[in-house]
Structure 1
Amino acid sequence: MKKSKLYIADKGRFALFMIVMTIIFTSSMNLVFRTDIAEGAVEPQYDEICIKPGDTLWALAKKYTPNHKDVRETIYEITQINNLKTSDIFPNQVIKIPIHE
């Protein structure tokens, strides 16, 4: 018995079918393996601090940084959250500081 070969009549239609199937497969895998909707996805929490004379960003970051984390990472987070261009802070300025659990 002779095996028949598979013949693709319309290569353009086949290519389109393969692209659509790839998109569907990728999207479904994305939904299955999403981590942000997993149990316990938590919104970041912040403390709002009013800067007092003599406060420095380094001292505040050191106070709020857990032992297992580098203070420089907290400083970077604070500058990003508060849209600070430099590490200069001023009395009576209110800034958000991330709370790490």
Structure 2
Amino acid sequence: MKTLSAFTARKARTEKKKLKIYRALALLTIWMLIMAFTFFQGNVAMGEVEEPQTVVVSAGDTLWSLAKIHAPGRDIRSYIEQIRQANQLSGSVLHPGQELILP
């Protein structure tokens, strides 16, 4: 009888330890989510708003070449479309001396 009782007590202690570990992991996960949300929310709120750049077109410049220089790593075609919209361009013809807004 004593053996059965010791086994039951040991099992109960093991279950309590597991429960404590699960609670600690749950609290840690919740804390990490709250901290991550706070961190990212703060970065968005404090983020600097980029002012659009202006560039003067030189001879031989194209929308493609300007987009490639000023938006590395981005989709060139979508950036060209943004340039066209920002400058109300109907086509892709540029003239030397023309001032363009780069979003």
Q: Map residues 11-50 of structure 1 onto 2, 5 A cutoff.
A: 39-40=45-46, 42-50=48-56
Q: Which residue of 1 aligns with 2:77?
A: 72
Distance 2:46 2:88 in 1: 28
User: What percentage of aligned pairs have identical amino acids?
Assistant: 33
How large is the Cα RMSD of the aligned pairs? 1.8
Structure number with higher helix proportion: 2
CA apart distance, 1:92: 0.6
In structure 1, the gaps of 5 or more residues are 1-34
What TM-score does the superposition give when structure 2 sets the normalisation length? Answer: 0.52
Larger Rg: 2
| CA distance 1:58–1:73, change in 2 (3 Å) | same
SS of the residue 2:46 aligns to: coil
Which AA in structure 2 matches 1:73? S
What TM-score does the superposition give when structure 1 sets the normalisation length? Answer: 0.53
- Stretches of 4+ moved more than 6 A in 1? none
